[in-house]
Each structure stands twice: as C-alpha cells, then as structure tokens.
Amino acid sequence: MKTLKGILGWVIPIVIGLAVALLIKQFVFTMARVDGPSMQPNLENNERIMVWCQSKIKHGSVIVFNATGLDPDAPSNDSPMKRLLGNAGTDYVKRVVALPGDTVEFKNGDLLVNGKKVDQSYISSSQQKQGTEYNNQPGNWNINSLSNNWPKNKGAMKVKQGQYFVLGDHRSVSNDSRYWGFVPKDHVIGVVKTFPWSTDKQKRDNVNDRDY
C-alpha cells in the first residue's frame, strides 16, 4: 500500500502537469521554432516564436498549421507522445493571403485579392513578383489554374469556406498554397507573434501587426 501511494504521489502530479500543458497548448498558446527560409526576411531560420491559438485570423496574419495531409510531401512525425500532446505531423509557418470566399490571382507581377492589388511592402519588390514558374519566368495564375495540379479542390474558383490561401514571404523558395492548395481551419494551430527582442522593429511589425 505504501508503495502504491508512493507511486501515485509522483504519477498524479505528472499527469496533472501534462493535462495543464495540453490545455494551455490547445487553447492558449504554444512555442515554436522556425525551420527553413520560407518566411525570410521577416522570420529567420531557427527563430523562436509564440503561437496564439485563439487569435483572429485576418488578411496578412502569419499562422502555424499542420501540413500533413495537405502537402503530399509533408511527412507525418507521428508518435504516441506527439498524439497525446496534439502535435503529430509537420508544422508549416506561412502568411494568410486570402480568407474564405476570396479570389486570388497573380497577374503581371501583382498579387490581387478580390480584384484589388495587395500591399506587399513587407517583402522586397523582387519577391513580390515571384509567382509559379513557367520556363523560368514568373507566370500569371489564379485559384482555378493552380487547382488543376492540387491533390484536392480541383476546379476551385475561390477560397473554400473554412479554409485559407497561404504564401511564404520568401516566394521563390516557399512551398505553399500555390502548389498544394488551401489550409483548412482545423489544421491551424494559431497566429504567430514574435518576441519583443527578436530581429528588428520593422520585421516584428511585419509579422505582428500586418493587416490589409
């Protein structure tokens, strides 16, 4: 009996701690680390970020989402512990360009949402003009033309309800909605906020306060 009580004495606090951590991660915020260059110059490789689960997603929001099942090349980093903590899969960080019901197109070097040119001053002019490549030249596209090569939502004309169209800031290297489609809301982990001491003020503002 004493042995059982002793075991319970350290097991119960661990279980409670895990439950609290899971609830915080699921409903409040979690921490993440940027992996790769797809959000440069505003988020750097290995930069630590905060991900707020209940923040409202707007045009220009930077989000973290589970790409497993969306991008055919995204592996599933599955394990019992990851399933327990609710983070089995591969997470991507991208910028929301279009919300449910929006149209998106890239035309003559401009990004248009609902027919209006998007202010992309958060990236360089050369990156603004990057689209899907045809014969090494930026090509014009819209959701319908892109969707012909997507694994899902073929023939879509606009962003589906409950889903988002995302792009990386470093357009020439980013693997994003141009290549595999929309991000469903239930794949979104949360909205990214940077730490006050990370990078410089302009880059922080480009992530934390962007809306159009």
Would you name the residues annotated as active-site residues?
A: 38, 94
For 39-164, where are the alpha helices, taking DSSP H only? Answer: 80-85, 125-128, 143-147
What kind and span of H or E run contains 108? none
Other CB atoms within a 10 A radius of the CB of residue 13 amount to 10
CA 132, CA 124: separation in Å to the nearest integer? 17
Per the listing, tokens 């033309």 go with 145
| Pair type for strands 62-66 and 91-98 | antiparallel
